[in-house]
A and B are shown apart, each in its own frame.
Chain A
């Protein structure tokens, strides 16, 4: 999934510099969605993630 975050970010940067604005915005929105999803996965995954068992939120 991290690959998808960086792929979307790279596409957004390239389109932001050279391509149409709508494609840059769409890529960035995809990246943002993947970013948030991956972050939530990382901090809530019991087996693999970065949980903080000493903090009950």
Chain B
């Protein structure tokens, strides 16, 4: 009975790790795509777009803590908080751009027919939905161990990749905005 219970608990923990790693990898892919659009196609992000990127990094922060310290409702809370901020900022930008006026059209080109802020709304909703489904199916593990073995190494590499993306974004923001307000006309320091 106890062994079966332990096996079930272990399986739940592994599924929890798998779900969170998948979420972090998907967010990292989205951020990479945004940076490819920025550097390869010259589509500079607006201030609200940059805030949306920061919110996605915040979601990843909670997941990185999960893989370092183990499962905790606090880490989930941090990720949910930033997912909510992502939703607020992207809904605000979508409402802003939905009414065309000079100088405030959608920034960047459409991807699969949707512009970036609309994608951000969908991404934020997907993150919130993913956490809701995960918590419903797996429950909230109040305590847990950090991921180990090959899975732990993969999670560590994914964490490093997210940190590298944030570092690149940090340098990029310095070049684009300097130490003042951000504009989409060009890189202020180049």
Contacts and interface: CB of A to CB of B under 8 A. Distances in A.
A3 B174 contact: yes
Interface string A20-57: 01001000100110011011001100001010101100
B6 interface: no
B96 A52 contact: yes
B159 A2 contact: no
Given A2-B182, A13-B162, A28-B61, A35 B170 contact: no
Contacts of A12: 61
B173 A6 contact: yes
Nearest to B85: A35
Given A10-B167, A50-B93, A16 B64 contact: yes
B23 interface: no
A48 B181 contact: yes
B64 A3 contact: no
Interface residues of B, number: 41
Interface stretch (B14-22, B31-39, B51-59, B135-143): B51-59
- Name the prevailing secondary structure of the B interface residues: helix
B27 to A, nearest CB: 13
A13 B179 CA distance: 21
Interface residues of A, number: 29
B109 to A, nearest CB: 20
B42 interface: no
B48 interface: yes
B69 interface: yes
Contact of A3 (B48, B99, B159, B179): B179
A28 B58 contact: yes
B60 interface: yes
Interface of B: 47-48, 50-51, 54-55, 57-58, 60-61, 64-65, 68-69, 78, 81, 85, 88-89, 92-93, 95-96, 99, 104, 159-160, 162-163, 166-167, 169-170, 173-174, 177-182
Of all A-B residue pairs in the complex, the 10 with the closest CB atoms, nearest first, are A6-B170, A13-B163, A10-B166, A16-B64, A6-B173, A10-B170, A2-B177, A9-B57, A50-B96, A2-B182
Interface of A: 1-3, 5-7, 9-10, 12-14, 16-17, 21, 24, 28, 31-32, 35-36, 38-39, 42-43, 48, 50, 52, 54-55
